[in-house]
Amino acid sequence: MADLTIRNLKKSFEDIDIIKGIDLDIKDHEFVVFVGPSGCGKSTLLRLIAGLEEVSSGTIHLDDRDITDVAPAKRDLAMVFQTYALYPHMTVRKNMSFALELAGADKAEINRKVDEAAQILELGHLLDRKPKALSGGQRQRVAIGRSIVRHPKIFLFDEPLSNLDAALRVQMRLELARLHHELKATMIYVTHDQVEAMTLADKVVVLNGGHIEQVGSPLELYHHPVNAFVAGFIGTPKMAFLKGKVEKADRAGVTVKLDCGPEYQLPLDGSRLKAGESVTFGMRPEHIEVTAADASPFKVTLDVTEHLGADTFCYVKAQNGETLTVRAGGDYAGRFGEQVGLTPDLAHCHLFDEKGRAVPKPGAPAKAA
């Protein structure tokens, strides 16, 4: 069992509040990813869980045990650092056995556990090397091995892939996902990369400015962001945001007039909106279709197009100067400066009120962070 329960957790450094009251439940076997822009407090939150920082107020429970003030080593957690933090003067075997040695485990037991972890991570042939004789990916694996041998209740990862090159990052990401299935362990993973968050997580925690914006599965965040911040943070390329005004709103739908021209009727529950209110209209690049200029009321000018093979990303400029990104087919051949029309898929569009909160779909329970 490894259920982590965090209640009203706060952390300040001198006068600056870094973590402003966090409540979070992490269930056994879950792969939870903390994601957010730099400075949002995600690493601090992880370090609070690890015990490397002192909590200012609030509690952390692991199962039924209060670990808020327990020493890091006694928490039954293991951490993998961004810089790997291997002991440079020890061999790989020593690096992996250090914790067990300190705990006073017997030699045979230590060797068995190290060999077992080395086998899982394919490190067998590297056990006698020192860290400086290893590649980045191998070092990363040793760092993971060092946590595996301890059989912790929870694994903590602090941006573990950010020092690797792009190809290796994808490979290690897959290995981590596989490891999670193999070990059936609870893992908490911090990253600023929303792609890592989406691909690895059972549950994503989006943090911003020291508080939680939204908690949910990757697809929940993608399809039902609770506010403009989450909507803009999840998904690449970013969701396009356009300013507009409410023309008419009721429980069955909302009519919005965008500042750049077109007017749309959205299947959203507008009971909280009033006519004349300023709103932000959001649509993802993959939910917009590029058409001929005269086939749509939404006319834009093509800026740069990026051909990725399977897709083409078009950067376009609306008549009032607002810019957005649109995903077109791989063989789309638009020219720079060309006039085109856009047709959004209204079923997948989002609307955010003046405070940035999402306008709910009809019948959906209103969820707010």
Q: Using the Cα atoms of residue 65, residue 66, residue 70 and residue 75 in order, give the sign of their dihedral.
A: positive
In angstroms, what is the minimal distance from the CB of 81 to another protein? 5
The reply to whether 295 sits near another protein by the rule CB under 8 A is: no
In angstroms, what is the minimal distance from the CB of 323 to another protein? 40
In angstroms, what is the minimal distance from the CB of 56 to another protein? 17
Instruction: Specify the stretch interacting with another protein by CB under 8 A; choose among 75-83, 189-197, 257-265, 325-333.
Output: 75-83
The reply to whether 81 sits near another protein by the rule CB under 8 A is: yes
Residues 180, 49: Cα–Cα separation, whole Å: 19
CB 299 within 8 A of CB 339: yes
In angstroms, what is the minimal distance from the CB of 209 to another protein? 25
Residues 188, 79: Cα–Cα separation, whole Å: 9
* Residue 14: exposure state from Cβ atoms within 10 A (0-12, 13-18, ≥19): exposed
Which is it for strands 16-26 and 288-292: parallel, antiparallel or unpaired?
unpaired
313 phi and psi angles, rounded to 5 deg: -95, 125
Instruction: Specify the stretch interacting with another protein by CB under 8 A; choose among 31-39, 96-104, 282-290, 337-345.
Output: 96-104
* Residue selected from 56, 59, 68, 82 as contacting another protein according to rule CB under 8 A: 82
Residues 367, 369: Cα–Cα separation, whole Å: 7
The reply to whether 177 sits near another protein by the rule CB under 8 A is: no
Query: Residue 16 region, left (φ>0) first, then alpha (ψ -120 to 50), else beta?
Result: beta
The reply to whether 56 sits near another protein by the rule CB under 8 A is: no
In the bound state with another protein, the residue whose beta carbon lies nearer, of 52 and 369, is: 52
Q: DSSP state, 37?
A: S
The reply to whether 185 sits near another protein by the rule CB under 8 A is: no
In angstroms, what is the minimal distance from the CB of 318 to another protein? 47
* Residue selected from 12, 63, 89, 307 as contacting another protein according to rule CB under 8 A: 89
Number of residues this chain uses to bind another protein (CB under 8 A): 23
The reply to whether 52 sits near another protein by the rule CB under 8 A is: yes
- Beta-carbon contacts of 19 under 8 Å, excluding residues fewer than 6 positions away, are 9, 10, 11, 41, 44, 45, 48, 56, 210, 211
The reply to whether 271 sits near another protein by the rule CB under 8 A is: no
In the bound state with another protein, the residue whose beta carbon lies nearer, of 99 and 183, is: 99
Helices 136-148 & 92-102, crossing angle to 10 degrees? 20
Q: Which two tokens stand for residue 175?
A: 């290995």
Residues 127, 139: Cα–Cα separation, whole Å: 11
The footprint of another protein on residues 127-166 (CB under 8 A) is 146, 150
Residues 62, 266: Cα–Cα separation, whole Å: 45
In the bound state with another protein, the residue whose beta carbon lies nearer, of 98 and 315, is: 98
* Residue selected from 27, 58, 70, 85 as contacting another protein according to rule CB under 8 A: 85
In the bound state with another protein, the residue whose beta carbon lies nearer, of 162 and 199, is: 162
Q: Which two tokens stand for residue 127?
A: 């056990």
Instruction: Specify the stretch interacting with another protein by CB under 8 A; choose among 22-30, 98-106, 122-130, 245-253.
Output: 98-106
In angstroms, what is the minimal distance from the CB of 39 to another protein? 19
* Residue selected from 98, 241, 315, 332 as contacting another protein according to rule CB under 8 A: 98
Work out the number of other CB atoms within 10 angstroms of the CB of residue 366: 12
- Beta-carbon contacts of 331 under 8 Å, excluding residues fewer than 6 positions away, are 312
In angstroms, what is the minimal distance from the CB of 84 to another protein? 8
* Residue selected from 1, 54, 103, 151 as contacting another protein according to rule CB under 8 A: 103
The reply to whether 237 sits near another protein by the rule CB under 8 A is: no
The reply to whether 313 sits near another protein by the rule CB under 8 A is: no
Identify the CA nearest to 102 among candidates 150, 33, 138.
150
The reply to whether 195 sits near another protein by the rule CB under 8 A is: no
Which residues lie near another protein (CB under 8 A)?
Answer: 50-52, 72-74, 77-79, 81-83, 85-89, 98-99, 102-103, 146, 150
